[in-house]
Amino acid sequence: MDSLGGLAVEDGGLGGRPEQTTVIGFTLDAATETVLRDGLQDLAQTGIHNTADIRRGTVRNAIAALARVPTPQIVVVDIGRDERPMPALLELCDVIEPSVSLLVIGEIDDVDLYREITRRAGAVDYLFKPINRDIVTRHFASLITRNAPVTDLTRGGRVISVVGARGGVGASTIAAALAWYLGVESSRHTLLLDADPFIGPTQDWFGVTYRQSFQSLLADPGDDPGAALAAAVCPVRNRLHVLGSPPDLERQPVSPPGAARRIVDAIRMRFNFVIVDLPFMPIQQHRELLELSQHRIIVLDPSLASLRDTVRLIAASTMPGQPQRPTILLNRQGAAGGLRRKQIEDALKRKVDLSLPDLPKLFTGLAAQPRFAGVPKGPFLRLIEDLAREAGFERSRGTPV
């Protein structure tokens, strides 16, 4: 075999087919290239083996390269803002085998373009930028495994757990802000699930009174968990609802195995996003909630104790069938006396995904206000917007029929 810019080229004189590359991709920008690489690495870390060659290039570059290399399982091409990509896409289809799964990425949000790409070119999907690791893992898992069962069900809302490495790192504030951004500011059907069985803040913070607590639902969901859930969730504003338990330090949280799954299954049929404020404790319901989360966000501050707990949480939160590694969010970056970001990344053996500088006045002010009234503009809002995209949120776009 010869090579073409890193791609293996077929040697016509050899018999038999070489080992098939899983994904060959051509992107137009560094951000999309990085996301594709990271998302495919996430899948590999969870046991969905794949080999990938992702590079910068146009559809024409893809045609030239794929005409000379063994057929991969999946081809990804980036059409950018090209309003008339069909001639190049159809030419690409002539050089790849019909069994290849074609994914097209672009910047134009248009239903007619989606239909043309999926129907005329036979692409399995058209993904609208910006894409994120969650989108990559969701789309590629079933393609790589050839529709093998994957835990991340396509029907139902996304369950996103926000877990503090330890108390006081700001995880509850971040969970509340993310839920507010999705449910109030972005009008997505969103539930903030406060899973703290002892001192959850949501009842006071959002000015609600729980008619039925999350703990009582776990103890006895009844014959119809959906009906019990409908009676328990409390509306806040626009499409944001909350569910939790009144503070009770004497409570002994007990739930039968599978109880959390029954409740979460009912929740996912009603809400697009389920934000779980999960102060991880070694109890049955919290283990189940972590396993049921399609996306996990671990929040830490730059302290040594927080770093140590984060290492343990990363190990504990890697569940079979979850195709995405946890998002690591560093709060209070640059705080006096704290660890430097590079020290944290060296200890974790991976990059921090998102960070927020030390903003003590902001968090003190949010904690002191009698009611949560929105996400303050500035660095905190930008963080929440980035976090929403990381967790799978996409701005509204036409719905293909």
Domain co-membership, 82 together with 209: no
Q: Say how far apart CA 210 and CA 232 lie, in whole Å.
A: 7
Provide the CATH number for the domain around residue 138.
3.40.50.2300
Let me know whether 117 and 175 are in one domain: no
Highest mean pLDDT among 2-11, 107-116, 223-232, 375-384: 375-384
- Whether 204 and 82 share a structural domain: no
User: What confidence tier does 146 reach under pLDDT thresholds 50, 70, 90?
Assistant: low
In a domain, 151, yes or no: no
State the pLDDT at residue 148. 43
- Do both 208 and 349 map to the same domain? yes
Total of domains in the chain: 2
**Based on the domain organization, do 81 and 103 belong to the same domain?**
yes
Domain boundary among 87, 114, 144: 144
Q: Three-class SS string for 29-75?
A: CHHHHHHHHHHHHHHHHCCCCCCEEEEECCHHHHHHHHCCCCCCCEE
Of the chain, the percentage scoring pLDDT greater than 90 comes to: 42
**Among candidate residues 144, 168, 186, the one where a domain is terminated:** 144
Pair 284, 329 in one domain:
yes
The answer for residues whose C-beta is within 8 angstroms of residue 154's C-beta and 6 or more apart is 138
Instruction: Give me the pLDDT at residue 80, please.
Output: 94
Which residues, including other chains, have CB under 8 Å from residue 363's CB and lie 6 or more apart?
170, 173
Model pLDDT, residue 178: 96
Task: Judge if 171 and 303 occupy the same domain.
Answer: yes
Q: For residue 329, what pLDDT is reported? A: 97
CB neighbourhood size of 113 (10 A): 22
The yes-or-no verdict on residue 149 having pLDDT over 80 is: no
Is the per-residue pLDDT at 331 higher than 90?
A: yes
Residue 182 gets which letter from DSSP? I
Q: Which domain holds residue 216?
A: 158-390
- What's the one-letter identity of residue 232? A
Q: Mark whether 278 and 184 lie in a shared domain.
A: yes
Shared-domain flag, residues 110 and 168: no
Q: How confident is the model at residue 210 (pLDDT cuts 50, 70, 90)?
A: confident
| Greater pLDDT, 118 or 134 | 118
Q: In the structure, what pLDDT confidence band is assigned to residue 395 with cuts at 50, 70 and 90? A: low
Pairwise CA distance, residues 316 & 310, whole Å:
10
Same domain, 56 and 188: no
Distance CA 297, CA 177 (A): 14
Lowest mean pLDDT among 8-12, 99-103, 395-399: 8-12
Q: Which residue in this structure is represented by tokens 């920008």? A: 29
- Asked if 163 and 202 sit in the same domain, the reply is yes
CATH number at residue 197: 3.40.50.300
CB neighbour list of residue 182: distance below 8 Å, 6 or more residues apart: 188, 190, 240, 272, 273, 275, 388, 393
> Residues 166-186: pLDDT tens digits?
988 999 999 999 999 999 999
Tokens of 98: 């019909």
Q: Please check whether residue 396 lies inside any domain of the structure.
A: no
Q: What is the pLDDT of residues 14-39, one digit of tens each?
A: 333 446 789 999 999 999 999 999 88
Return the pLDDT at 244.
93
Q: Show Cβ contacts of residue 104 under 8 Å, excluding neighbours closer than 6 positions.
A: 76, 77, 78, 79, 85, 89, 117, 121, 123, 125, 126, 127
| C-alpha closest to that of 72 among 45, 50, 104 | 50
Decide: pTM greater than 0.85.
no
At which residue do the structure tokens 């990085």 appear? 34
- Claim to verify: residue 212 and residue 92 sit in the same structural domain: no
* Separation CA 175–CA 194 (nearest Å): 9
Per-residue pLDDT, averaged over 388-396, amounts to 77
For residue 364, tell me if it sits in a domain.
Answer: yes
Among 115, 144, 173, give the residue marking a domain's end.
144
User: Which of 123-132, 212-221, 360-369 has the least mean pLDDT?
Assistant: 360-369
Q: Checking phi first, is residue 332 left (phi over 0); if not, alpha (psi -120 to 50) or beta?
A: left
State the average pLDDT for the chain: 84
How far, in Å, CA of 163 to CA of 175, rounded? 9
Q: Is residue 377 one of the residues assigned to a domain?
A: yes
Query: Rounded CA gap, 187 and 183, in Å?
Result: 5
Q: Which residue has the higher pLDDT, 48 or 148?
A: 48
* Helix intervals (H) in 333-378: 341-348, 360-368
User: pLDDT, tens digit, for every residue of 251-300?
Assistant: 888 788 888 988 998 998 888 899 999 987 878 888 889 888 888 999 99
Average pLDDT over residues 195-208: 87
- Cα dihedral value 291, 293, 294, 298, nearest 10: -100
Q: How many CA atoms lie within 13 A of 75 on its CB side?
A: 28
Any domain includes 400: no
- Which pLDDT belongs to residue 155? 52
